[in-house]
C-alpha cells in the first residue's frame, strides 16, 4: 500500500527494487479527483516461500526515469493454502 499524492506538477515517483532485480519506477501521484489516499501500485506474484528484499530509493531507473520521492505506507502479503479432501 502506498500513499497517493496530489498537487505536484512533476508527479511523485519512487524506485522499488525487488530481490536485487531491476529497479522499477512506481507512480504515487493521485489521478485527478481520485477519492482514495492509498492504493496498491506495485506487486509481485508467484514468490517462493523464502526471505525477500525490497529496496526503496531515489534517483534514476535503468530507463533513465527519475524517482523524486521515497515512500511506502505498508506491505501486504497473502498466503494461499490448498487442501485436498478425499
How many domains does the structure of the chain reveal?
A: 1
Query: Model confidence over 31-67: pLDDT tens digits?
Result: 666 666 777 888 888 888 888 999 988 877 777 878 8
Q: Greater confidence, 49 or 81?
A: 49
pTM, rounded to two decimals: 0.66
**What percent of the chain clears pLDDT 70, i.e. is strictly above it?**
79
Task: Extract the C-alpha cell encoding 86.
Answer: 478425499
Residues 36 and 76 sit within 8 Å (Cβ to Cβ): no
- Tell me the residue range of the domain where 20 lies: 1-86
Q: Give the model's pLDDT for residue 18.
A: 92
Q: Give the model's pLDDT for residue 19.
A: 94
Q: Give the model's pLDDT for residue 67.
A: 80
Amino acid at each position: 500500500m502506498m500513499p497517493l499524492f496530489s498537487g505536484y506538477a512533476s508527479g511523485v515517483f519512487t524506485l522499488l527494487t525487488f530481490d536485487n532485480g531491476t529497479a522499477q519506477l512506481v507512480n504515487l501521484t493521485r489521478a485527478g479527483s481520485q477519492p482514495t489516499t492509498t492504493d496498491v501500485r506495485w506487486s509481485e506474484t508467484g514468490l517462493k516461500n523464502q526471505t525477500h528484499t525490497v529496496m526503496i530509493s531515489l534517483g534514476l531507473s535503468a530507463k533513465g526515469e527519475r524517482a523524486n520521492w521515497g515512500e511506502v505506507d505498508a506491505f501486504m502479503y497473502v498466503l494461499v493454502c490448498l487442501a485436498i479432501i478425499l
